[in-house]
């Protein structure tokens, strides 16, 4: 039987994969999408834990490429919940007739470049092998769940859940003793909701996080209408901003203003309830420790105010790393949850987990009896989902080997030795340090333009150049090293996964500046890429 050939295989049907399919189809390409889930949605398909919602204002957390789509869709909350975001992505799939080229419940297991015909051989867990000229990987930054290998994990008698792979049927915690490990964005969103249901909730916290109040509410209808009315202009502003959201860029350093003015600014941003508001108050908060200390101290004092028991408050207050360098969280009632009688905080820095037993979790201070255990332990970020597939480029080189010391890429889009393979929001692009939807659109459009260029020139192959890739990767690291980020153990640094190389994974140059750079590369005929 002959092998089916398509122009492009797209892996993933979340924000990235759906738009890649739409865009490449518009060019007349024959596209096949593979998606492991039983529906479209990607991250928003899998992350069904209670309280899951976006933490970028919804009005900016949607596609901008289609004026009608942008104007028609109205979010019901300032920060939409997971079911609503999933409905949006399902709507997009239907509206643009995308489903007919998406194979659901099908995982790509292997990609192998055939140098003889310059095509990718794509193997799936459904047993299919097909050939593609181009491969676009829209597998998500935060989709390969981190399930720490805590001794005794398999002995636990009750259910073990991971926030990133939450069951589809509702989970009822009524009357249950629930334990949760992890206090990142997922844990911080889950904890207040589970606390309301469970008989008792034990939170096992390794590192306290900086979390800010979301002040979630119905969106301001007038503001939304005004934004939608000038959509094309807003789109340009988002695309040329620092983070892919609208804000006034800071012009002063934190120490350039009086203490009173600074605290008033932080307080007003705290009241606004946005993820980046405080961090964007001054232009040196992620670069200058003394400046950062002012913001860190402000948030610490707010946390301490919200928690009744001073000892619990002290355990919740983050210390020893700069605000912003571990991704901050946005919450609804997180700290007040610790004032409930049925909630207990266990600092596993002070009393480490020794093992999971059939009936609970044992720390150095004793046993915590549990019926259900939730892992909110995050992801093998940015590289985990790419390396979960076996990817072999020229000369049988595997991506795993190529990235053994950390990922290197040209613009976070392409990797030398892996021709015609494109990583949407890959390591080395703004990705995790931006509104991912805006970054996804930029990558998909750039790749689509590159393929159009190849075709118009009668060429078939685009491959990152080794030297240019080295330069870009060094630039990404230098930009990171000019900030406080590398001093902190975070998933931005790969530090949450034992044995993962410690490098700064995203590019911190800003969404707009990065876009301008990519545009220049395209305008100049793609220097840094070999086109053949
Ligand atoms: P995360 O930020 O990596 O947090 C994982 C938590 O688990 C941390 O508290 C971590 O402690 C703890 N942990 C990990 N391994 C552990 C171990 N072996 N023993 C004990 N504790 C352990 O993961 P996440 O909360 O899933 O969030 C990941 C990212 O996804 C976020 O930063 C955000 O970008 C995105 N996200 C966004 C939203 C949203 O839009 N609202 C919601 C959820 C997630 P340490 O800090 O000590 O490592």
Coil vs helix vs strand at 289 = helix
Nearest CA to ligand 1 atom 37: 185
- C-alpha–C-alpha distance, residues 296 and 294, integer Å: 6
Is the Cβ atom of 491 under 6 angstroms away from ligand 1?
yes
- Bridge-based pairing state of the strands 129-137 and 366-369: unpaired
The alpha carbon of 142 is separated from its chain's Cα centroid by a whole number of angstroms, namely 5
Query: Which domains are seen in the chain, by residue range?
Result: 4-144+381-531 (3.50.50.60), 181-220+240-375 (no CATH)
Task: Pick the closest to residue 418 from 386, 440, 446, 388 (CA basis).
Answer: 386
Rounded Cα distance between 12 and 107, Å, is 9
Q: Which atom of ligand 1 is nearest to the CA of 185?
A: 25
pLDDT tens digits, 450-473: 999 999 999 999 999 999 999 999
- Tell me, what's the pLDDT at 2? 77
Asked if 496 contacts 378 with a C-beta cutoff of 8 angstroms, the reply is yes
Q: How far is it, in rounded angstroms, from Cα 177 to Cα 443?
A: 45
**Predicted local confidence at residue 372, as pLDDT:** 98
Distance between CA atoms of residues 211 and 261, nearest Å: 22
How much distance in Å is there from the Cα of 422 to the middle of ligand 1? 27
Which has the closest alpha carbon to 288: 484, 480, 481?
484
Half-sphere exposure of 51 (CA within 13 A, CB side): 22
346 lines ligand 1 (CB under 6 A): no
Is residue 148 in contact with ligand 1, taking CB distance under 6 Å?
yes
What's the half-sphere exposure (Cβ side, CA atoms, 13 Å) at 320?
8
Which residues, other chains included, contact 531 with Cβ-Cβ below 8 Å and sequence gap of 6+? 453, 454, 457, 459, 461, 462
Residue closest to 271 by CA, chosen among 319, 222, 217, 223? 217
CA of 209 to the centre of ligand 1 (A): 9
User: From the CB of 490, is ligand 1 less than 6 Å away?
Assistant: no
- Chain Cα centroid distance, residue 55: 11
Query: Residue length, the chain?
Result: 532
**Which residue has the CA at smallest separation from atom 15 of ligand 1?**
377
Residue 1's pLDDT is what?
62
Ligand 1 neighbourhood includes 190 CB (under 6 angstroms): no
- Helix extents (H) in 63-170: 67-72, 82-95
State if pTM tops 0.75: yes
Q: Which atom of ligand 1 is nearest to the CA of 491?
A: 3
Verify whether ligand 1 is closer than 6 Å to residue 415 (CB atom).
no
Q: Which residues of the chain fall below pLDDT 50?
A: none
Q: What are the respective helix, strand and coil percentages of the chain, to the nearest 5?
A: 35, 20, 45
Closest C-alpha residue for ligand 1 atom 26? 378
> Is 377 touching ligand 1 by the criterion CB < 6 Å?
yes
Q: Tell me which of 184, 385, 506 to substitute to probe ligand 1's pocket, judged by most ligand atoms within 8 Å of the beta carbon.
A: 184
User: Which residue among 146, 185, 379, 434 has the greatest number of ligand 1 atoms within 8 angstroms of its CB, and so is best to mutate?
Assistant: 185
CA 393–ligand 1 middle distance (angstroms): 32
Number of H helices, E strands in the chain: 15, 20
Among 183, 377, 385, 498, name the best residue to mutate to test ligand 1's pocket (greatest count of ligand atoms within 8 A of Cβ).
377
> Cα–Cα distances in Å, from 333 out to 154, 190, 220, 296?
33, 11, 21, 20
HSE of 425 in the Cβ direction (CA atoms, 13 Å)?
A: 29
Tokens for 415, please give them: 């990797």
The C-alpha angle 380, 385, 388, rounded to 5 degrees, equals 105
The pLDDT, as a whole number, for residue 186 is 98
Catalogue the E-assigned strands of 71-128: 102-103, 108-114, 119-124
- Ligand 1 nearest-atom number relative to CA 53: 41
């Amino acid at each position: 039987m002959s092998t089916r050939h398509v122009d492009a295989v797209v892996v993933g049907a979340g924000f990235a994969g759906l738009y890649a399919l739409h865009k490449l189809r518009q060019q007349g390409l024959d596209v096949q999408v593979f998606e492991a889930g039983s529906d479209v949605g990607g991250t928003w398909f899998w992350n069904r834990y209670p309280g899951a919602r976006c933490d970028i204002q919804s009005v900016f957390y949607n596609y901008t490429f289609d004026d009608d789509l942008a104007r028609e869709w109205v979010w019901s909350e300032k920060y939409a919940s997971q079911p609503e975001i999933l409905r949006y992505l399902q709507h997009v799939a239907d509206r643009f007739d995308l489903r007919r080229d998406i194979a659901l419940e099908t995982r790509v297991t292997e990609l192998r470049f055939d140098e003889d015909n310059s095509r990718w051989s794509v193997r799936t867990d459904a047993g299919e092998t097909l050939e593609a000229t181009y491969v676009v990987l829209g597998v998500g930054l935060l989709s390969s769940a981190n399930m720490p290998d805590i001794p005794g994990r398999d002995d636990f008698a009750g259910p073990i859940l991971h926030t990133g792979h939450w069951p589809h049927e509702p989970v009822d915690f009524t009357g249950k003793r629930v334990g949760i490990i992890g206090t990142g964005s997922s844990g911080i969103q889950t904890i207040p909701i589970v606390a309301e249901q469970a008989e008792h909730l034990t939170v096992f916290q390794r590192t306290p996080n900086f979390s800010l109040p979301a002040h979630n509410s119905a969106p301001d209808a007038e503001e939304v209408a005004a934004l939608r009315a000038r959509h094309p202009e807003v789109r340009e502003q988002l695309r040329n901003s620092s983070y892919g959201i609208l804000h006034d860029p800071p012009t002063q350093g934190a120490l350039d203003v009086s203490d009173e003015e600074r605290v008033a600014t932080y307080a007003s941003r705290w009241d606004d309830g946005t993820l980046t508001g405080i961090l964007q108050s001054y232009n040196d908060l992620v670069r200058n420790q003394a400046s950062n200390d002012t913001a860190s101290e402000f948030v610490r004092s707010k946390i301490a105010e919200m928690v009744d028991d001073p000892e619990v408050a002290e355990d919740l207050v983050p210390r020893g790393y700069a605000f912003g360098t571990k991704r901050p969280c946005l919450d609804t009632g997180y700290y007040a949850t610790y004032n409930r009688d049925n909630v207990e905080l266990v600092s596993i820095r002070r009393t480490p987990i020794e093992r999971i037993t059939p009936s609970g979790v044992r720390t150095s201070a004793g046993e915590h009896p549990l019926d259900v255990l939730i892992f909110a332990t995050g992801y093998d970020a940015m590289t985990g989902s790419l390396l979960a597939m076996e990817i072999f480029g020229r000369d049988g080189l595997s991506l795993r080997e190529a990235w053994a010391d950390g990922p290197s890429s040209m613009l976070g889009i392409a990797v030398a030795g892996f021709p015609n393979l494109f990583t949407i929001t890959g390591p080395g692009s703004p990705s995790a340090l931006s509104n991912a939807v805006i970054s996804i659109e930029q990558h998909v459009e750039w790749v689509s333009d590159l393929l159009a260029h190849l075709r118009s020139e009668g060429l078939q192959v685009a491959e990152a150049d080794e030297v240019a890739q080295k330069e870009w990767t060094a630039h990404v690291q230098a930009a990171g090293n000019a900030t406080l980020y590398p001093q902190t153990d975070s998933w931005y640094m790969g530090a949450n996964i034992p044995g993962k190389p410690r490098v700064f994974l995203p590019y911190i140059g800003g969404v707009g500046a990065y876009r301008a750079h990519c545009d220049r590369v395209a305008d100049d005929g793609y220097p840094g890429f070999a086109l053949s």
